[in-house]
Amino acid sequence: MVPKKHLTVLSDKEVHQIHLATLEVLDEVGLWLPNSEVLQILEGAGARVDFKKQVARYPADMVTAAINRFPAGITWYARNPDNTILMDGSQTHFSMPDSALNIIDLNGERRAGGPKDGEDICRLCDALPNMAVASTGINPPDMTSGLLEAWHTRTMFCCSSKAVFGVSRQVDMVLEMARIVADTCDHLPSGVLPLVAIMNPFSPLYNESDQLAGMLKYARRGVPISISPEVQAGATGPATLAGTLVQQTAEFLGHAVLVQCVTPGLGVIYGTVSSVFDMKKMMLPYGAPEADLLAVGTVQMARHYGIPARCTGGSSDTNTLDMQAGAEAMMSTLIPILAGASFVLHGAGELENTLAVSYEKILVDNEIIDMARRFAQGVRVNTDTLAVDVIKQVGCGPHGQFLQHDHTLDHFRSEQFMPRLFVRDDYANWETSGKQAVERRAAAQVEQILATHQPDPLPDDAQKEIDAIYHAAENAAANR
């Protein structure tokens, strides 16, 4: 649900100032794009290209024309039509981490994540109502490029019927798996794949040839693309948050213009993975309040361009499920909802500055999302909810009560957040039930879900085709 009034950190004038500064950067600095095909496309559309330096500079009218072709929203189709989502700012859709290396398991042990963990995380995502986009959560450290992308895509399509994202490399393989799934889906419009691509430019103001080539393939196939710069303020971008917003907006628009040159009208999402660079610890903290400020600023810039926004949320820089994890997760979960972001990736379950996924924190964060969504719904005010007639009927004095009134029965479920994990027992009842901390209760829920939940299966023929692609990638990796 959209808040009645979006949370903002920039005035309309400041949004316009950032936009004008972005146009200046694109026109005078440009982007370093070491891919000759990309440079040729941009030159043909009006960019000033230095092929020797591999730099494209974008005139303001070229950028404005591309912005005018952006569609207002994106329908992100899932293989189960009930899980298809609309990315238009009307609701914030959550996912999990996508590239952690470590798992904190149900015994509290930290270890390298393996393929079975990715399957389990994906099944948890499929089961939890607040998770809208599938994710494996991890990059198993022993998987090389080629096999890793095949594993990610196969696992998401096979272990969840929710929306799936495409990784930015080995795109032909990803597209082929998506085509196989699409052929089993009668609800998809003709030629549409159940896929949105995720790509991250590099800072300052550049990209790599392989990722650019993959981006062209997605665009030509008509797959919407989420473009999320990761500026480290003070290291790979200006130390000021306003300057970081200018640079990351230039990085986004520089790539979004390319998308419109290839397929005019194709959907794009303005994302951010930016934060400040911690000068003491020499790292990028995702739990920092500045990351949340940049997230809100990004949503405002996306709204200025009439497109959906993606943020991070739920991540924590601490190494265990402690009070810091709860504080950082709540803040970075609530803020994208209040700002009106459409999509949150790098979210539920993430610890250790994106390097670890905690099974227990996935369930804690799912509860936090419930709480944040209830807060964002606000207070409904109408003749019925004002309840003046009810107050008159009950009257005044110690004998009045509302517990048995029809109005209470009609409204309390929709008015109240009902915890599924957090406790509201008094001490005696909590002690009688085993004095379990939240992580133990979360672990029990994880075990119950994994023991009972199975995603909707793919048809046998589609499963076999996807397995064949994966095993081919597996054999190719083994023979390198």
pLDDT tens per residue across span 197-226: 999 999 999 999 999 999 999 999 999 999
Quick check: 1 pLDDT over 70? no
Please give the average per-residue pLDDT across 261-269, as a whole number: 98
Say which residues have a Cβ less than 8 Å from residue 258's Cβ, sequence separation at least 6: 38, 41, 42, 215, 219
Share of the chain above pLDDT 90, in %: 97
Q: What is the pLDDT of residues 466-479, one digit of tens each?
A: 999 999 999 999 88
Quote the Cα angle for 2-7-8, to 5°. 135
pLDDT band at 168 (very low <50, low <70, confident <90, very high): confident
**Cβ distance 315 to 348 under 8 Å?**
no
Which residue stretches of 378-437 are H helix? 383-386, 388-394, 406-415, 427-432
Count the helix, strand and coil residues of the chain and give each as a percent rounded to the nearest 5: 45, 10, 40
Give the model's pLDDT for residue 479. Answer: 86
- Of 190, 209, 286, nearest to 31 by C-alpha is 209
Confidence of residue 90 (pLDDT cuts 50, 70, 90): very high
CB distance 39 to 49 below 8 Å: yes
Write out pLDDT tens, residues 223-254. Answer: 999 999 999 999 999 999 999 999 999 999 99
pLDDT number for residue 418: 96
Six-digit token pair at 270? 């303005």
Predicted pLDDT at 266: 98
Instruction: Return the DSSP state at 54.
Output: T
Q: What counts of helices (H) and strands (E) characterise the chain? A: 17, 18
